[in-house]
């Protein structure tokens, strides 16, 4: 696709989890991509340690599920919120069984290994060029391309690159966000926490085998069982804490002395982070877009910041491919923010709510919180599965904009393995499919059925899908490449209308 004016279809600034996932999607779609990453190597210290089942399904979509399974462990027991007396206040559920996405509901991992796996995945694509040790200094947009000024950190040579679109996956201090002039909305949480990672020298039964949020008003803390010998403590800073003193090894060990002693583990790192709850407004300005931490930041109480970055990539990748490769209207790219922003916002708001529970330091408020939560019958909660905001779908049915599960087909395969990253039309029975085909005959140009665009599945051939359709009283469901529901109807005439409306959006939005 690259022409003389562009060195790539898409330039990605930043090769963290967001950039690497997006580059895998675009590489898989056959687009030419230039990735610029300031650092020469992967950031060696972990930040994220948890991702959810939908994210594992996205890794499956980029062909890396097995590789990531090999470096992650399923979270069997979830996350337990306990009070100062070790009484359980709340539990975010966990299980080793397959959940709605055809895999476990949550996983723990070591972030540098995950990033390494995503980067190895990029070696599959000749047309994805990775420029490590290259900092993007500036960018300007023109009517049909963007120009990036890039410095090679080793030689200090400055080069110019051109791409049709630039995606800023450049983290919390994003240059691309500044260029777009996106404005921050603060959702109310800003609090410094000490993050203390250790590696155990051997087995230690005094440490729980799951994540514990210790809601102790005297010193709120989080303990996490990461993978193998890795363990993490997150420790809230209290008034009067001196940062330098907190980071001294003797202070660190004293803070966790009830669980682990210095001779039982080595320190991997200790850093103070300020947890934020920010969402930016305006993720796109013509040919520049932002993704991941550059567009939103959440406190890590739900382990969802990186998950949101990966979901962003899954949402935008197929839209970029539709626009660049297939000539669809680039108005489709505006739906990236309108869909993703409310979705990520609901996770940030929940993390802020949980933060308020964990971070309570007033003893009386903590006592009342304990009384309320201990009396509550709803102790176990799961991750929310919010619907996307308004965008590329035909609204009407309550399931539209929700994610479709990933059932097993009668052949034993998981659904997405069969259908690839395409649109999928699911019909309850073969008669329904015939009716849609007849109704669309010679009318739909892009969303043609039995064309490379839309894969069809007949519910009757696949009992799990049939049962889902029957329970929801639906005859047709249209899935997008990212597996969110774009249309759901009880009859063929309505599905034909849905398909024609969506096609019109692709052609003229
Ligand atoms: C303590 C802590 C715990 C967390 N725990 C979890 C968790 O359990 N689960 C979870 O889902 N999330 C968690 N998160 C959040 C998660 O780490 C981030 O959301 C995620 O790493 C952001 O990914 P990203 O790719 O958007 O940005 P980053 O990982 O920040 O990557 C941005 C990249 O862009 C590069 N870059 C920046 N500017 C330029 C430039 N001008 N030119 C070239 N390159 C540039 C940077 O070098 C960097 O490599 C946690 C965060 C913290 C701090």
Per-residue pLDDT of the chain (509 residues; tens, 9 = 90+): 433 457 899 999 999 999 999 999 999 999 999 999 999 999 988 899 999 999 999 999 999 999 999 999 999 888 999 999 999 999 998 888 889 999 999 999 999 999 999 999 999 999 999 999 999 999 999 999 999 999 999 999 999 999 999 999 999 999 999 999 999 999 999 999 999 999 999 988 889 999 999 999 999 999 999 998 999 999 999 999 999 999 999 999 999 999 999 999 999 999 999 999 999 999 999 999 999 999 999 999 999 999 999 999 999 999 999 999 988 999 999 999 999 999 999 999 999 999 999 999 999 999 999 999 999 888 888 888 999 999 999 999 999 999 999 999 999 999 999 998 899 999 999 999 999 988 887 677 777 776 667 888 999 999 999 999 999 999 999 999 999 999 999 999 999 999 999 999 988 75
Residue with tokens 């933060």: 355
Tokens linked to 195: 């993050």
Q: Ligand 1 centroid vs 428 CA: distance in angstroms?
A: 42
Closest-CA residue, ligand 1 atom 17, reads 48
The burial of 226, by beta-carbon neighbours within 10 Å (0-12 exposed, 13-18 middle, 19 or more buried), is given as buried
Closest-CA residue, ligand 1 atom 49, reads 16
Ligand 1: list residues with CB < 6 Å.
13-19, 36-39, 47-51, 135-136, 169-171, 175, 195, 273, 292-293, 300, 303-307, 309
In the prediction, which pLDDT does 3 show? Answer: 39
Residues 6+ apart with CB under 8 A from 376: none
445: left (phi over 0), alpha (psi -120 to 50) or beta: alpha
DSSP 326-381: H---GGGGHHHHHHHHHHHHHHHHHHHHHHHHHT---HHHHHHHHHHHHH-S--EE
Phi, psi of 502 (to 5 degrees): -65, -40
CA–CA distance, 190 with 506 (Å, rounded to integer) = 40
DSSP 152-188: ETTT--EEEEEEEEEEE---TT-HHHHHHT-EEEEEE
7: helix, coil or strand? coil
The burial of 367, by beta-carbon neighbours within 10 Å (0-12 exposed, 13-18 middle, 19 or more buried), is given as middle
Quick one: which of 424, 497, 421 has its CA closest to 459? 424
CA–CA distance, 164 with 145 (Å, rounded to integer) = 4
State the CATH class of domain 415-508: alpha beta
In the prediction, which pLDDT does 5 show? Answer: 58
3-state secondary structure 196-213: EEEEECCCCCCCCCCEEE
DSSP 83-125: ETT--EEEEE---SS--TTSS-SEEE--HHHHHHHHHHHHTT-
Which residue among 17, 48, 151, 307 is best mutated to probe the pocket of ligand 1, counting the most ligand atoms within 8 A of its Cβ?
48
In the prediction, which pLDDT does 2 show? Answer: 38
pTM of the model: 0.96
Residues 6+ apart with CB under 8 A from 430: 458, 460
In order of 364, 419, 476, 498, the CA distances from 492 in angstroms are 60, 21, 7, 10
Closest-CA residue, ligand 1 atom 31, reads 16
Which residue among 191, 195, 300, 383 is best mutated to probe the pocket of ligand 1, counting the most ligand atoms within 8 A of its Cβ?
300
Rounded (10°) CA dihedral 54, 187, 174, 302: -30
- Sequence spans of domains, the chain: 8-50+57-62+109-183+277-358, 415-508
53: helix, coil or strand? helix
Q: Ligand 1 centroid vs 38 CA: distance in angstroms?
A: 13
CA–CA distance, 222 with 385 (Å, rounded to integer) = 24
The burial of 58, by beta-carbon neighbours within 10 Å (0-12 exposed, 13-18 middle, 19 or more buried), is given as buried
Which atom from ligand 1 is nearest to the alpha carbon of 172?
30
Radius of gyration of the chain (CA): 24
Element containing residue 418 per DSSP (H, E): helix 415-419
Which atom from ligand 1 is nearest to the alpha carbon of 134?
43
Residues 6+ apart with CB under 8 A from 167: 10, 11, 12, 13, 19, 22, 176, 288, 289, 290, 291, 316
Closest-CA residue, ligand 1 atom 18, reads 306
Q: Which CATH number describes the domain made up of 8-50+57-62+109-183+277-358? A: 3.50.50.60
CA–CA distance, 216 with 361 (Å, rounded to integer) = 8
Tokens linked to 202: 């051997």
In the prediction, which pLDDT does 453 show? Answer: 77
In the prediction, which pLDDT does 35 show? Answer: 98
Closest-CA residue, ligand 1 atom 20, reads 306
In order of 22, 265, 507, the CA distances from 327 in angstroms are 20, 56, 8
Q: Ligand 1 centroid vs 461 CA: distance in angstroms?
A: 43
In the prediction, which pLDDT does 374 show? Answer: 93
| Topology match between the domains 8-50+57-62+109-183+277-358 and 415-508 | no
Which atom from ligand 1 is nearest to the alpha carbon of 14?
34
Q: Ligand 1 centroid vs 41 CA: distance in angstroms?
A: 14
Q: Ligand 1 centroid vs 293 CA: distance in angstroms?
A: 6
Which atom from ligand 1 is nearest to the alpha carbon of 20?
25
Closest-CA residue, ligand 1 atom 29, reads 16
CA–CA distance, 260 with 232 (Å, rounded to integer) = 12
Phi, psi of 131 (to 5 degrees): -110, 95
């Amino acid at each position: 696709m690259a022409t003389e004016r562009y060195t790539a279809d898409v330039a990605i600034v930043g090769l963290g989890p967001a950039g690497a996932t997006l580059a895998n999607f675009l590489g898989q779609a056959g687009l030419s991509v230039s990735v610029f990453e300031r650092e020469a190597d992967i950031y060696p210290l972990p930040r994220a340690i948890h991702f959810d089942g939908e994210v594992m399904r996205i890794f499956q979509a980029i062909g890396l599920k097995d590789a990531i399974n090999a470096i992650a462990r399923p979270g069997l027991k979830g996350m337990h919120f306990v009070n100062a007396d070790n009484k359980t206040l709340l539990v975010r559920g966990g299980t080793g069984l397959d959940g709605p996405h055809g895999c476990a509901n949550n996983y723990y991992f070591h972030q540098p290994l995950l990033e390494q796996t995503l980067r190895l995945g990029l070696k599959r694509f000749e047309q994805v060029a990775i420029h490590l040790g290259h900092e993007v200094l500036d960018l300007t947009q023109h009517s049909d391309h963007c120009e990036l000024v890039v410095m090679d950190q080793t030689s200090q040579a400055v080069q110019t690159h051109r791409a049709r679109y630039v995606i800023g996956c450049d983290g919390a201090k994003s240059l691309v966000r500044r260029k777009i002039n996106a404005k921050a909305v603060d959702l109310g949480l800003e609090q410094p926490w000490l993050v203390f990672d250790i590696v155990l020298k051997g087995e230690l039964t005094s440490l729980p085998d799951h994540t514990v949020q210790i809601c102790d008003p005297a010193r709120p803390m989080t303990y996490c069982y990461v993978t193998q010998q890795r363990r993490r403590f997150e420790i809230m800073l209290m008034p009067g804490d001196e940062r330098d003193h907190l980071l001294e090894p003797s202070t660190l060990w004293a803070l966790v002395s009830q669980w682990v002693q210095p001779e039982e583990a080595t320190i991997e790192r200790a850093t103070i982070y300020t947890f934020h709850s920010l969402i930016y407004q305006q993720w796109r300005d013509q040919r520049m877009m932002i993704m991941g931490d550059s567009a939103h930041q959440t406190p890590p109480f739900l382990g969802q910041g990186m998950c949101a970055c990966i979901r962003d990539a899954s949402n935008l990748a197929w839209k970029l491919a539709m626009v660049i490769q297939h000539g669809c209207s680039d108005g489709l790219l505006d739906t990236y923010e309108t869909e993703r922003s409310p979705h990520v916002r609901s996770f940030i708001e929940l993390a802020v709510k949980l933060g308020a529970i964990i971070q309570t330091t007033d003893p009386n408020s903590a006592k009342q919180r304990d009384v309320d939560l201990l009396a509550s019958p709803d102790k176990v909660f799961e991750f929310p599965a919010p619907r996307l905001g308004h965008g590329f779908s035909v609204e009407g049915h309550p399931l539209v904009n929700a994610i479709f599960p990933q059932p097993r087909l009668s052949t034993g395969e998981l659904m997405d393995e069969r259908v690839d990253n395409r649109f999928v039309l699911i019909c309850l029975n073969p008669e329904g499919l015939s009716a849609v085909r007849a109704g669309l005959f010679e009318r739909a140009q892009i969303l043609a059925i039995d064309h490379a665009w839309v894969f069809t599945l007949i519910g009757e051939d696949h009992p799990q899908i049939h049962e889902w359709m029957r329970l929801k009283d639906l005859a047709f469901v249209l899935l997008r490449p990212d597996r969110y529901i774009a249309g759901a109807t009880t009859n063929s005439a309505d599905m034909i209308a849905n398909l024609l409306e969506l096609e019109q959006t692709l052609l003229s939005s």
